[in-house]
Amino acid sequence: MLNPGHGWPFLLLLLLPPFESSLRCGGAGAEEATAHSHRVLLYPHSEKVSSIVSRKYRTGYHFQPPKNWINDPNGPMYYNGLYHLFYQYNPDSVIPGNKTWGHSVSADLINWLRLEPALDRTEPYDAKGCWSGSVTILADGRPAILYTGADGVKNQAQCIAFPSNNSDPFLREWTKPDSNPVIRPNGPGLNPSQFRDPTTGWTGPDGQWRIAVGAELDGYSAALLYKSEDFVHWTRVDHPLYSSNSSAMWECPDFFAALPGNSSGLDISSAVPNGAKHVLKVSLDSCDKYMIGVYDLERDRFVPDTVVDDRRLWPRIDYGNYYASKSFFDAKKGRRIIWGWANESDSSSDDVAKGWAGIQAIPRRIWLDSDGKQLLQWPVEEVESLRRNGISHKGIELKKGDLFEIKGTDTLQADVDIEFEPRTMDKADPFDPSWLLDTEKHCREADATAPGGLGPFGLVLMASDNLEEHTTVHFRVYKSQHKHMILMCSDLRRSSLRPGLYTPAYGGFFEFDLEKERRISLRTLIDRSVVESFGGGGRVCVMARVYPMALVKDSDARIYVFNNGTSTVMVPQLKAWSMRRAQMNVKKG
Ligand SMILES: *[C@@H]1O[C@H](CO)[C@@H](O)[C@H](O)[C@H]1NC(C)=O
Ligand SMILES: *[C@@H]1O[C@H](CO)[C@@H](O)[C@H](O)[C@H]1NC(C)=O
Ligand SMILES: *[C@@H]1O[C@H](CO)[C@@H](O)[C@H](O)[C@H]1NC(C)=O
Ligand SMILES: *[C@@H]1O[C@H](CO)[C@@H](O)[C@H](O)[C@H]1NC(C)=O
Ligand SMILES: *[C@@H]1O[C@H](CO)[C@@H](O)[C@H](O)[C@H]1NC(C)=O
Ligand SMILES: *[C@@H]1O[C@H](CO)[C@@H](O)[C@H](O)[C@H]1NC(C)=O
């Protein structure tokens, strides 16, 4: 139980006003590098060179520690009244390596306190790093971490850790028992250097624990299945939970159950109700892909509803800069929440200059569409607590070529929620399924300047006065055999004049019953170097990183709604808010 003696000072800390003033963001003045204890003025006399180290690129409400490298979210959980987020963290530097489990806690998923790393490289079996893993809450209520230890030659094995003191409300210290590593890469066909990222555990009809581990098996990718009575002694099941020869290795498998059309989450560690589907998410090719199917209890296997051999066609959790995601069941609100890592899109020397690299995407509620074919995601409602100064418009008409400026809200830290309603759908161009093989290519070719029958229409963000720099997030509607296919693009190719950035045009398609739904929604969270968008009620999500020069120089940007398609599009509703800074990883004293 959360000891009230500890709860109070903690709550007070969370209630303190955000440290907006101490960061001096948004103010005028020279850029500062605060990576070390002294302050350096960069380019104090130059107007032209806007520095990548500007604090203005640091996010205001997306999760990040004060400095250094982070990547995968690890073992998120809700425990005794607090959310815990662990994450791959190099305490020494902004370059990947020497991974520990960074640790932060929150009462609301938005404001975070930073604790000391929960796992450090202390043993021969994790000498090269405490890599990704999960937390499972055991039957007696104790949480257990399973993580991958990388030994001196980066061979991998799965290791366990328990809280050192269950009465500590923050679970600051974790103990690695002598039985570690608990799972070695033994058995035919396994590659010890491709064996990692254990999932959260679940129990089968025989009452035994099961977990999956990402691996290369006989040169193919597999989610290996392991069983245990006590969560400490594990045996490998003679077949994987699922495997595929369409790639060589899966990282960060995530396995969970969901009821179609029900946005409540299910706790995979408990019995799963009738009618539930199972989802297997895997990370490969720098993105997170998923399959929906059933968990065949008799054969102890995941069986996808459809097997798609070409992995380019697998649906994605996010079509942008998003990787190594990890979900958990939030017992507080009965929902499933997914976290994912977004890396920087600048160079590693930029990262060295900045002193920080990597953020986590906004935690998202995740559930299954009523047809059971598509995952939906939406920012957790708690993020709305940061909104202020809301503005709203109704009934905007966008003819071909129209550009409507959204004024009166902060343009660098904002939440924009908008709906588009085509006047007619007759002019939608025909859909070509070959576009699905390379949606980025299609977003480049059919970009915001290329008029179509229905679309492009959407948002222009982070725009400099003359639109020299801007990012677009837009839709294009196509007619397919049955329904409509909607393309959502997040085009970064003109997002910054700074050289050396990674600026693709991200894109994903979703099938949509436009005749019935009429409206296509777009929600975009703008957070300085982040443009994170949710299209069609969360059917396609795109996380993007941007570093406009204008943001540093002018400390301002513009937001517009536009339509470059032939058909007129209505905006029945547009709402936007400025977003406050969250309390982000203040160190617990
Ligand atoms: C990892 O730690 C060692 C010291 O233990 C240090 O020499 C090395 O530079 C560190 N590597 C990174 C990438 O931080
Ligand atoms: C365990 O945590 C509780 C609560 O923080 C503390 O009072 C106690 O001293 C701790 N025990 C040990 C052995 O550290
Ligand atoms: C790959 O898997 C498919 C079924 O998923 C199978 O038809 C095919 O023979 C396999 N190819 C190889 C090389 O094993
Ligand atoms: C959704 O699922 C939850 C958890 O299983 C259940 O309690 C609830 O009744 C379901 N809601 C609907 C509308 O079916
Ligand atoms: C990270 O960023 C680079 C571009 O800077 C990109 O090419 C890479 O695939 C990204 N994702 C991951 C998971 O490393
Ligand atoms: C709309 O099309 C015109 C003409 O091609 C182009 O100049 C303009 O930049 C486009 N708008 C956007 C947002 O790309």
Q: What are the residue numbers of the active site?
A: 72
pLDDT in tens, 208-233: 999 999 999 999 999 999 999 999 99
Q: Ligand 4: which residue has its CA nearest to atom 13?
A: 262
Contact 307 CB / ligand 3 (< 6 Å): yes
One domain, residues 103 and 250:
yes
- Could you tell me if residue 154 is left (phi over 0), alpha (psi between -120 and 50 degrees) or otherwise beta? left
pTM of the model: 0.92
Q: Is residue 49 assigned to a domain? A: no
Q: Is residue 33 assigned to a domain? A: no
pLDDT computed for residue 4 by the predictor: 32
One domain, residues 311 and 422:
no
Ligand 2 atom closest to the CA of 6, numbered from 1: 5
One domain, residues 372 and 405:
no
Percent of the chain topping pLDDT 90: 86
One domain, residues 284 and 151:
yes
Q: To test ligand 2's pocket by mutation, which of 8, 165, 175 has the most ligand atoms within 8 angstroms of CB?
A: 165
One domain, residues 150 and 15:
no
- The number of folded domains in the chain is 2
Q: Is residue 1 assigned to a domain? A: no
**Separation of 299 CA from ligand 3 center, angstroms?**
20
Task: Give the residues across from 390 on adjacent strands.
Answer: none
Q: Is residue 227 assigned to a domain? A: yes
In the 8-state DSSP scheme, what is residue 497?
S
**Separation of 367 CA from ligand 5 center, angstroms?**
27
pLDDT in tens, 375-391: 999 999 999 999 999 99
Contact 46 CB / ligand 2 (< 6 Å): no
Q: Is residue 559 assigned to a domain? A: yes
Ligand showing the shortest atom-to-Cα distance for residue 311: 3
One domain, residues 157 and 199:
yes
Q: Is residue 43 assigned to a domain? A: no
One domain, residues 366 and 225:
yes
One domain, residues 412 and 367:
no
Q: Which residue has the tokens 């396995």?
A: 255
Ligand 1 atom closest to the CA of 93, numbered from 1: 14
One domain, residues 326 and 467:
no
Q: Stretch 328-346: mean pLDDT, rounded?
A: 98
Q: Which residue has the tokens 């679970």?
A: 171
User: Contact at 8 Å (CB) between 185 and 191?
Assistant: yes
Contact 562 CB / ligand 6 (< 6 Å): yes
**Separation of 553 CA from ligand 6 center, angstroms?**
25
Contact 466 CB / ligand 6 (< 6 Å): no
Compute the distance between CA of residue 476 and CA of residue 452 in angstroms, rounded to an integer. 8
Contact 466 CB / ligand 2 (< 6 Å): no
DSSP 410-440: -SSEEEEEEEEEES-STTPEEP-GGGGG-HH
Task: Reply yes or no on whether the pLDDT at 6 is more than 80.
Answer: no
**Residue 373 belongs to what domain range?**
69-342+361-379
User: Contact at 8 Å (CB) between 506 and 447?
Assistant: no
Q: To test ligand 5's pocket by mutation, which of 321, 348, 354, 503 has the most ligand atoms within 8 angstroms of CB?
A: 321
Residue of 54, 59, 60 whose CA lies nearest to 553? 54
User: Contact at 8 Å (CB) between 245 and 252?
Assistant: no
Q: To test ligand 3's pocket by mutation, which of 243, 245, 291 has the most ligand atoms within 8 angstroms of CB?
A: 245
Contact 349 CB / ligand 4 (< 6 Å): no
pLDDT in tens, 440-486: 999 999 999 999 999 999 999 999 999 999 999 999 999 998 899 99
Q: How confident is the model at residue 50 (pLDDT cuts 50, 70, 90)?
A: low
Who has greater pLDDT, 531 or 19? 531
One domain, residues 334 and 403:
no
Amino acid at 378: W
Compute the distance between CA of residue 254 and CA of residue 251 in angstroms, rounded to an integer. 9
Q: Is residue 53 assigned to a domain? A: no
One domain, residues 195 and 164:
yes
One domain, residues 168 and 311:
yes
Q: Is residue 542 assigned to a domain? A: yes
Q: What CATH code is carried by the domain that includes residue 108?
A: 2.115.10.20
Ligand 5 site residues, Cβ closer than 6 angstroms: 286, 323, 343, 345, 502
